[in-house]
Structure 1
């Protein structure tokens, strides 16, 4: 059984479409999404429509949490900068009724049994919704987390850092970010998880996408142009 693992789409539908095409030859039985599906690229409905249409197993991430607060008539303290807040307010205002309902129903974690494996979906980690686990996280931390879960596979996002680590008998996998990699390469990131009679294998992948389509959409929506440069350069910020 092949499974497409994605995270941190950040409203970047052109990147998601490219990942969908790149993953097609693997004939994946399921799609697992570890959250932060929205905010920063202006394609919220296209993104959630795709997840719903493909019946992806999805959880919510911290950017999704803030959009949910706005949908509930609440506000949030961070981010405080106007050029960041507008990315959230515009996203919440743009969502269709169907996608509002879909987002409001998402949970912070999900445990699935696929084949013979129990798989946990978390945004940050099993211990903390916003914990940053990366390829450089010490083994000690992964071993601590392994003792806190009964899952054979733990899928996370949030850090935008692709990795496959094994500790305490648990496979920890982060597919990286579909829509907003921050390592200097804008290419989308995803993982293929293979389950075969108890064997667990993982391949990490990158694929190019139409970055300029995102830059044009940011301009067309009169959103801060700094985000266009972030997508172009594959960076978290532009000085």
Structure 2
């Protein structure tokens, strides 16, 4: 039997992107759905995003944007981002969250360990096994991945944060980043996600790029009178600030 696991990261409140994933890759066809954090901020669908994750029983962790939203919910100061055009994306997210969505967010941890097929240990992190804010890219030196492999006994390590899809097998460890489900920076606005398949001792990863209705995100940004630079970012699939 082959186990199938849907890997997501960096959704950034992009509910239309999640809907596109569900149309293309039936959530019910997976044994697990894993989300590496940064579920919220930038696309203005925080409640819909949290509800989708709950409906599909997604195993989620916190990312850096989520943790800043939590600080705001707790009435604590957030020093960064300092720029008004970025800060408003956090404050409006915190203000919009419903009571149940707040509860779900506050219940999340910074990492998770899972067992696939009851024997293959997987670690779910936002940045890296060493640091939740570490960026791991496709061109990060292999030496760094070898170092990280020594810090974990997980056979599979799934991370987000860098918005960069890759699959590397180094020092007996599979390092996987599904890319950003909601906000890619490579000039291609389509969703990025990955499917992990495990059959016996064989582990395979396939990355997907899926088109979604970017216009729905743009319309919501303008409806909520949020900075128009974010509409341009979603349209272009680029980071512009």
1:36 Cα deviation (Å)? Answer: 0.1
Partner SS state of residue 164, structure 1: strand
Match for residue 62 of structure 1 among 41, 61, 64: 64
Aligned residue in 1 for 2:96? 94
Residue 110 in structure 1 maps to residue 80 in structure 2: no
When residues 195 and 26 of structure 1 are mapped into structure 2, their CA distance, relative to the original with a 3 A threshold, is farther
Aligned residue in 2 for 1:40? 42
For structure 2, the 5+ residue unaligned runs are: none
1:225 Cα deviation (Å)? Answer: 0.7
Q: Deviations over 1:168-188 (max 9, x none)?
A: 100000000000000000000
Most deviating of 144-153 and 22-31: 22-31
Match for residue 212 of structure 2 among 209, 212, 222: 209
**Superposed structure 1 runs of 4+ greater than 3 Å apart:** none
In the TM superposition, what are the counterparts of 1:1-239 in structure 2 within 5 Å?
1-24=3-26, 27-115=29-117, 116-237=119-240
TM-score under structure 1 length normalisation: 0.98
CA-atom RMSD in angstroms? 1.0
TM-score under structure 2 length normalisation: 0.97
When residues 72 and 26 of structure 1 are mapped into structure 2, their CA distance, relative to the original with a 3 A threshold, is closer
1:26 Cα deviation (Å)? Answer: 8.5
How many equivalent pairs are there? 238
1:139 Cα deviation (Å)? Answer: 0.6
